[in-house]
Structure 1
Amino acid sequence: MPNDCITYQNSGYFSKLIVDYLDQKAELKALYNRFPTVENFKLQIEDKSKNFPIENREILAKALVNQYQKFEISEATLANIELLKDSKTFTITTGHQLNLFTGPLYFLYKIVSVINLTKELKTAYPENNFIPVYWMATEDHDFDEINFFSFKEKKIQWNRESNGPVGRLNTAGLNEVFEQFSSELGIGNNANYLRELFKKSYLEHDSLADATRFLANELFKKEGLVIIDGDDLELKKLFIPYAKNELLQQTSFKKVNETLPLLKEYNVQVNPREINLFYIQDNLRERIILENGNYKINNTQLSFSESEILTELENNPKNFSPNVILRPLYQEIILPNLCYIGGGGELAYWLELKSNFEANNITFPILLLRNSVLIATKKQVEKLDKLGLNWNDIFMSQKQLSDKKTKEFSAFTIDFSEQKTVLQKQFDSLLEIANRTDKSFIGAVKAQEAKQLKGLENLEKRLLKAERKNHTSKLERIFEIQNELFPNKSLQERNQNLASFVSDVDDFESFVRKITAELLPLEQKFSIVIL
């Protein structure tokens, strides 16, 4: 089966904004710094070198060592943390929520994209070091988005209450999730591997942040992945001046609102608030609202005067958490970062933020769309071949695919293009006659032309519908394999968990290695991985 080139632009699964960004449309160029090409990283390195204090490197490395204290750290990761102290070292970063047992597959693809880009950049710029970083979204509070994963068409879910930052959640109750997952896994080496991985991650660690760090570390420690938790006192201290500016000047609100008109043709991903900070405790994450000179914590009785909230910021910076508008700025303040790799939704909100970075004198990173992947088994590929399907076919909507295959199966041509052309020529002649004789007939001729063409289109649709019924069994087999590869008529990577392939791979380490080997982060096309 040929490995067709399915570009992100022609896949049908990305928004107009992301397609236009990938096509480097002129109207979007003011919204980003540099487009992701190997050549453009040279200038990005120069910019970040001038704009990242050496003392921040020491603070970052020390904070990371502290975060890893309770974990067995690989030599590759430990070496990378030490390299962060060197002014010639830079990071490539992705971020993700603390989804239970990684959640959907694109968790893997994000991290693999980061790892592979660091390797590509090391080849291009050997005098520099490039470190892959996974930023854990420990301060998010959207628990309902992360407390489950799908396995064997079942929802494996952690049921509990959560009001504060999810990273601080204790892991109580996950033993019940383990029992449910374990019973579904079945037998075999892969099932045992996944069972043990879940158990060690979630039943042997006290917080969701620690559990997620262990899990990601187990999957990628040989690649030197560095995992960072932004919910850290020493790192938050670096953010104090910028949080103070946010409280007093509301710069991000002003700058992002200035940018939004440039995105008027698109669906805006997020809208800024007047203050884009949360106040957090273990069981609290609420917006800070400025009312009549006082800083109120939404849905609580807490209130601060200006001097009081600035004192609180100085004394307890860990109680202040950036929202989706400010979190990227915080990230780029504490990391010597060159590039952020994310999904389409993430890049959409990053494209709102460049002016705020400029106002804060922080280098805006290169934005790269993460790799997207379709995984198929050899048995599925054989089915596709027997059905005469290629990869372009399988990415079509079912309506498009049904129409295409029905026309191919039909013993006669279901295409009235020739008849439409003949009809249009006839009406062109009638319009010419009307122009020469009585121009009042022009409207009547055009109306009749539209009616006749519409009639032909309706006949074509009726014929196609009738012929579709004659090939129902073939089409059902086509839809069956398409639904396997695109569950819920959506991308596999947004639905399935890594455990979905428990019976399709020899072992999970080789599974992750195979994905890592085949993804090319700077290519704008789907990777087709055959197991």
Structure 2
Amino acid sequence: MQKDTIAYSQTGYFSKLICHYLDQDSNVAPFYHRFPSLENFEAQIKEKQAWFSEDSRRVLVSSLQKQYAQTDVSDVTKLHIEKLNEDTTFTITTGHQLNLFTGPLYFLYKIIHTITLSRKLTQQHPHYDFVPAYWMATEDHDFDEINYFRFKGSKIQWNREDGGAVGELSTEGLEAVLELFRTALGSSKNAQYLALLFEEAYIKHTNLTDATRYLANELFKDYGLVIVDGNDADLKTVFAPYVERELFEEVAHKEVTSQTEALTALGYPEQVHPREINLFYITKGIRERIIRDGADFVVNNTAIRFSESEIREELNTYPERFSPNALLRPLYQEVILPNLTYIGGGGELAYWFQLKSCFEAMRVPFPMLLLRNSALIRTEKHKKKTEALDITIPQLFLKQNELVNQKIRAISNIDIDFSEQRTHLKEQFKSMYTLAAETDASFIGAVKAQEVKQLKGLDHLEQRLLLAQKRKLRDHVQRVVDVQNAVFPLHSLQERNTNFAEFYLEFGTDLIPALVEALEPINEAFTVVTL
């Protein structure tokens, strides 16, 4: 295995906000608590330790043991759950939707990052224990975002009616998906394992929550990953006081609106828009927003209505029926977990930056925010092809047209770069501007128009010559395009499209250990891994 790196800012795939955060730009500093450097963890540990109660630990451990009751738990995962009873144990957490068969590759990168950071912190702070945790987004309802994965250029999709929280969806109908997947896999030993893994997860479990827990546990149980389902009555009992404040004080709307205005004033985008009440009401087949209607509360698109006293009673009796939306879910997570750091993608971190003042108003410690590992996996064969074409790592990340143009210029025996001619033309027009000004100033506009016309003419001629060279060097151009397309499917980052099964098919049980070894826990750059 070999790895290379490229700065996130050089890839062209990360927002200005994230690049500024990684650079610890002073403009972003008001929107987070502590930057996730190793030296900052001691203070974060002390803060969370003082805040997180013994009762919360007891409820958490009891809930996890119930959630794992039907799962083959490894000894190290079992130990991690038990250790959460101790006030010297903390979680490193990531979260993800219940994507079919893990969805895109970055599902693996997120979880691997929790594992590698937990290990690193154990070395740095031997008097504490650190548990990698994966928060399943069981209460989401965006079925269209999770009902497929891409394999070898094809979209393998589960078609069924949606409704309610996705974690409660029946796995009925996934037999047809398995048969389609099995055909695409082939018959190798690794293919047979992948088909069996899909079958054990989705055919032998009746709902998407249990299927996803099985799948993630099978892939990562040897590393002690702890999988958390927040759609749990006991855990929501702990969160109920914060739900009550959200219902009656609309804390998130006030605080997030203010913080978002400060972010957007600096030119950063709003990632998530706050509602007046950032809660859903969930029962079988229903997940709808709770809306204030005068003195009452109504559940959107239903006939369900509560008075103030009735909704308090409902919360006390059935806390599991109150579900935080995307903005309030981070608060719920941090209330029920002894968590130090949240590991997420650029879009996730962007909405966490809207939340700090809400956490302060709710008096909950704000976690450190760590950009998840990003990686590109390639084979040794691909690496050799790239080197033969003299394509560097930064060039590999260029937009395809720009990459092709650069390579055509580099190998062409004609110098198709009119920079010198443009400079010469502009110098010639300087004297024309002087002449026009001395003769009749009204001619300056005509001179400017002629300059623009001739510069555009040079641009057009340069592009035509490049196009002619592309035709002449068609074979070379095609090899350049093929090399880039192999690792940037759909002209996008591999990690956002490709499923892990493509690489497991080739590398089998070596895949995850190789990624654990390659990906750094405190990541400063995008990683290119050659297997």
TM-score by shorter chain over 0.5: yes
Shift in Å, 1:305: 0.5
- Cα distance in 2 for partners of 1:455, 1:158 equals 52
Structure 2 residue 115 is the aligned partner of structure 1 residue 115: yes
Q: Within the alignment, does 1:237 sit opposite 2:262 as a pair?
A: no
Q: Structure 2 residue aligned with 1:363, among 361, 365, 368?
A: 365
Deviations 1:469-493 (Å, cap 9, x if unpaired)? 2212211121122112111111111
Residues 31 and 352, structure 1, Cα contact 8 Å, conserved in 2:
yes
- How far has the Cα of 1:375 moved from its partner? 0.9
Structure 1 residues not aligned, in runs of 5+: none
Task: Supply the AA of the counterpart residue of 2:16.
Answer: K
1:116-265 paired onto structure 2 within 5 Å? 116-264=116-264, 265=267
Answer yes or no: is the 8 Å Cα contact 1:9–1:22 preserved in 2.
Answer: no
Q: What amino acid sits opposite 2:285 in the alignment?
A: N
Which is worse superposed, 279-288 or 447-456?
447-456
Aligned ranges 1:61-76 → 2 under 5 Å? 61-76=61-76
State the SS of the aligned residue for 2:255: helix
Give 3-state SS (helix, strand or coil) of 2:282's partner. strand
**How far is 1:426 from its partner?**
4.2
| Corresponding position of 1:21 | 21
Aligned to 2:506, the other structure's residue is in SS state coil
For 1:9, what is the secondary structure of its paired residue? helix
Cα drift, residue 334 of structure 1:
0.4
CA distance in 1, matches of 2:461, 2:175: 61
Cα distance in 1 for residues equivalent to 2:191 and 2:477: 35
What is the RMSD of the two structures over their aligned residues, measured on CA atoms? Answer: 2.1
Aligned residues of 2:102 and 2:499 also touching (Cα < 8 A): yes
Partner of 2:343: 341
Which of 314, 322, 325 pairs up with 1:323? 325
> Hey, what's the Cα distance between the residues in 1 that align with 2:452 and 2:98?
56
How big is each residue's C-alpha offset from its partner over 1:23-60, in whole Å with a ceiling of 9 and x where there is no partner?
22222211111222111222222221222222211111
Separation in 2 of the partners of 1:216 and 1:165? 19
Deviations 1:479-525 (CA, angstroms, capped at 9, x unpaired): 122112111111111111111124421x2x21111111100132232
**Cα 1:229–1:503 shift into 2, 3 Å:** closer
Alignment match of 2:415 (pick from 413, 416, 422) = 413
Counterpart amino acid of residue 391 in structure 1: I
Contact 1:104 1:493 in 2 (8 A): yes
Contact 1:4 1:390 in 2 (8 A): no
Q: Which residue of 1 aligns with 2:38?
A: 38
Change in CA separation of 1:319 and 1:453 when aligned onto 2, cut-off 3 Å: same
Q: Which range moves more in the overlay, 314-323 or 160-169?
A: 160-169
Partners in 1 of 2:150 and 2:445 — Cα distance? 59
> Measured at CA, do residues 38 and 436 of structure 1 come closer, stay the same or move farther in structure 2, by a change above 3 Å?
farther
* Cα distance in 1, alignment partners of residues 428 and 519 from structure 2: 54
Contact 1:104–1:497 (CA<8 Å) still a contact in 2? yes
1:348-396, Cα deviation, whole Å (9 max, x unpaired):
1111111100100111111111111111112222222222222222211
Cα deviation 1:156-213 (Å, max 9, x = unaligned): 2222222111111222222222222222221121011111111111222222111111
Q: CA deviation at 1:316?
A: 0.3
One-letter identity of the residue aligned with 2:24: Q
Out of 305, 308, 311, the residue aligned to residue 309 of structure 1 is 311
Q: 2: CA distance between counterparts of 1:11 and 1:159?
A: 35
199-208 or 311-320, larger mean C-alpha shift: 199-208
Matched, 1:471 2:493: no
CA separation of 1:175 and 1:10: change in aligned 2, threshold 3 A: same
Instruction: Give the aligned partner of residue 501 of structure 2.
Output: 499
Instruction: Give CA deviations for 1:108-145 in whole Å, capped at 9, x if unaligned.
Output: 01000111111111222222211100000011111121
Q: Deviation of residue 444 (structure 1)?
A: 5.9
Inter-partner Cα distance in structure 1 for 2:61 and 2:443: 82
The aligned amino acid for 1:198 is F
1:78 maps to a residue whose letter is K
Shift, 1:450, TM fit = 4.2
Moved more, 444-453 or 207-216: 444-453
Contact 1:4 1:392 in 2 (8 A): no
Query: Is this contact kept in 2: 1:57–1:85, CA < 8 A?
Result: yes
2-structure distance, mates of 1:487, 1:119: 33
Q: Distance in 1 between matches of 2:302 and 2:243?
A: 21
Take 1:297 and 1:260, find their aligned partners in 2: how far apart are those partners? 27
Structure 2: runs of 5+ lacking an equivalent: none
Q: Which moved more, 1:165-174 or 1:430-439?
A: 430-439
Residue range with higher mean Cα deviation, 451-460 or 52-61 = 451-460
Q: Deviations over 1:410-461 (max 9, x none)?
A: 1022222223333444445566777889877766665555444444333333
Q: 1:232, 1:318 within 8 Å by CA — same for their partners in 2? A: yes
Structure 1 residues 4 and 216, CA, compared in 2 at 3 Å: closer, same or farther?
closer
SS at match of 2:12: coil
**Gap change, CA 1:326 and 1:2, over 3 Å in 2:** closer
Contact 1:131 1:226 in 2 (8 A): yes
Identity %: 52
Partner Cα separation in structure 1 for residue 381 and residue 407 of structure 2:
21
TM-score normalized by the length of structure 2: 0.95
The count of corresponding residues between Structure 1 and Structure 2 is: 529
Quote the residue 2:97 is aligned against. Answer: 97
How far residue 248 of structure 1 moved from its aligned partner, in angstroms, is: 0.4
Partner Cα distance (2:351, 2:166) in 1: 22
Compute the TM-score of the two structures, normalised by the length of structure 1.
0.95
Q: Which amino acid aligns with 2:470?
A: R
Does the 8 Å CA contact 1:325/1:353 hold for their aligned counterparts? yes
What residue identity is the alignment partner of 1:177?
V
Residues 314-365 of structure 1: per-residue CA shift (max 9 Å, x gap): 0000000000010000000001111111111111111111110010011111
